[in-house]
Structure 1
C-alpha cells in the first residue's frame, strides 16, 4: 500500500524516455522514434501514451506581452496496458509535422522559435510521468534560398519568434492558430528597413507573407505575398524576393 501511495506521488513510479531517430527534420517532414517505459516499484496501468508537438507562442494584448505553450499536433501511441514492477516496454511511433511548424534552425541574433515533443504517460490517480525532447526544424531548400536572397541584399536576420493568431495572404491563410515571423533589418541609421517573413507549407507549395516597414515612409506597413513550388527555380525565387525588396 505504501509503495502504491508513493507511486501516485511520482516516487517509485513508472518512467518514460523518448528517443528520437533524429532530432533534425525539415518543414513538413516526419518525426519517428521510440518511447521507452520502465516500470516502477508497483504494478501500474498506463491508460495512454500521449505524444504532443509543441511550440512557444507570444501573446500580445494592449498592455502586456506573455508567452504560452501551444500544441501543433498530438498522437496516442498505444492503447491502455499494465506495466509490472521493473518491466521495460518499447513503443515505436511516427508523427507528421504540422505544415505550420516554425523553423528553428535559424541564424538570428535573437531566436525565440522552439519546437519540442512532450511524451506523457496517462496514469489514473497519479502524477503523469513526462519527457521533453527538443527538435531542430530545418527550412525546406526553397525557404532557405528565400532567406539567403534577403540576406544577400544586405539585410541581417535579427529575430525569429512565433505569434499567436492567423495569417492571411492574397491566396492563402494559416490554419494552426500560430505563425512564425522571421525579422530582417537593414544596417542604415536613418532610413532603416524591416522585413518580416512568415512561411506556410501546403503540400508541394510554399506560401510566404512579407511585411515591409520603412522608418521614413508615410505609407505604413506594406504586405506582399507570394507562393512558390518546393522545386522553384532560382530565377522564380529571385523574382519573388525582388518584389519584396522593391517595396
Structure 2
C-alpha cells in the first residue's frame, strides 16, 4: 500500500511523502523493507530526521476499566538530517527488523479478529513532527506458532478473538510492554471442564514460551477457577513433534489440576524435551487468576523507547488513525 501526504508541519506548499512497502507481509524476527519517497515543495527545507515505527492497538487497564490505546512499540531510523530542495524527488530505502515478540495478525490467510498493525512514517522539521498515516502490514506466524495453532484447530477449538494486553506475564522474559492473548472456545471433548482458553506466545530467537490460561468450569460442589500452563518450545521442534498429541496433553494436564496453583510436570508431552509446566505463571488479567501481570512497572526498554515514554506519548488515545485499516 502507498500513502501520499502533504507534510502538515509546513502546511500548503510543503513537501510530500510516499511510503512504499516492498511487501506488507512479514513474520516475527524477519525484516520489513520499503522506501520513503519525498517530493520537495515550493521552497527548500531541512528535515531533522525520518523514522518509521510499528504501531498497534493495546488494551490498557486504566483504573477500573480497559480502554484501547494506539501505541508505537518499535521504530527504526530512515535518515538523519536531510536537505530537500524545492521540487526535488528523493527516495530513501529502509528496513525494520520485526521484534521477535511482534504479535501475529494473520493466520491461514485470515486476519485475526481484534488485531491490527501498521507502519507509520514520522518526519521532523525543526521542532515540528509530522506523523504520517498508517500503512497496514500483516504479521504471519512462525512455523512453531503455526503448528500449535493448527493443533488447536484440529482438536476442535474454535477461535474467539485476539487482543493485546498492556503488562507483563510473571516469570516470563518480555522485551515489549504488552503480550498477545488469542482466545478459543473449547473443543467438545473438553467442554465439560473448560469454558475458555487463552493462548500467548512470547518468542525469542531460539524458543517460544507458550503460556496457556484455562477458564475451568465449576462442578456441583466446586466453583470455577483458572488453571495455567507454561511450556518452552524450541523453534527446531516445529516440524518434528506430534503437535496434536502435545496440545492435547497440555489441555488434559490443565483439566487434571485440582486447584489453580498446581501443575504436574510432563503430562502428555514427553516428546518435547526442555518443556516444563508452570502454574502460577499465567496471565492473571481481567481481574481473575493469580495476579500474574504487573502492568506499568519496571518495563525497561522496548525498541529504543523507554516504556514510560511509550505510555505517556505513544499509547495515547488516537484510535482515529485506524480508519486506514478499514476497521
Does the TM-score normalized on the shorter chain lie above 0.5?
A: yes
Q: TM-score, normalised by structure 2?
A: 0.67
Unaligned ranges ≥5, structure 1: 1-5
* Aligned-pair CA distance for 1:220: 1.3
* Matching residue of 2:182: 182
**1:1-247 mapped onto 2 (5 Å cutoff):** 8-106=9-107, 111-124=113-126, 126=128, 128=130, 130-169=132-171, 172-186=172-186, 192-216=194-218, 218=223, 220-232=225-237, 233-235=239-241, 237-246=243-252, 247=254
After superposition, the Cα gap between the structure-2 partners of 1:11 and 1:129, relative to the gap in structure 1 and judged at 3 Å, is farther
User: How many residue pairs get matched?
Assistant: 240
Higher alpha-carbon deviation: 58-67 or 189-198: 189-198
Structure in which a larger fraction of residues adopt strand: 1
Between the aligned partners of 2:76 and 2:111, the Cα distance in structure 1 is 34
Between the aligned partners of 2:28 and 2:72, the Cα distance in structure 1 is 16
- 1:164-187 deviation line (CA, Å, top 9, x unaligned): 111235xx3223111000000126
Between the aligned partners of 1:167 and 1:174, the Cα distance in structure 2 is 8
1:9–1:127 contact (8 Å) kept in structure 2: no
After superposition, the Cα gap between the structure-2 partners of 1:129 and 1:98, relative to the gap in structure 1 and judged at 3 Å, is closer
After superposition, the Cα gap between the structure-2 partners of 1:62 and 1:243, relative to the gap in structure 1 and judged at 3 Å, is farther
Moved over 4 A (4+): 6-9, 107-110, 187-192
* Matching residue of 2:305: none
* Aligned-pair CA distance for 1:245: 1.5
Look up the SS of the partner of 1:146 in the other structure.
helix
Unaligned ranges ≥5, structure 2: 1-6, 255-327
* Aligned-pair CA distance for 1:191: 5.6
Q: CA RMSD in A?
A: 2.4
* Aligned-pair CA distance for 1:27: 1.8
After superposition, the Cα gap between the structure-2 partners of 1:74 and 1:227, relative to the gap in structure 1 and judged at 3 Å, is same
After superposition, the Cα gap between the structure-2 partners of 1:139 and 1:129, relative to the gap in structure 1 and judged at 3 Å, is closer
Between the aligned partners of 2:32 and 2:74, the Cα distance in structure 1 is 12
Q: TM-score, normalised by structure 1?
A: 0.88
Between the aligned partners of 1:96 and 1:109, the Cα distance in structure 2 is 22
1:10–1:127 contact (8 Å) kept in structure 2: no
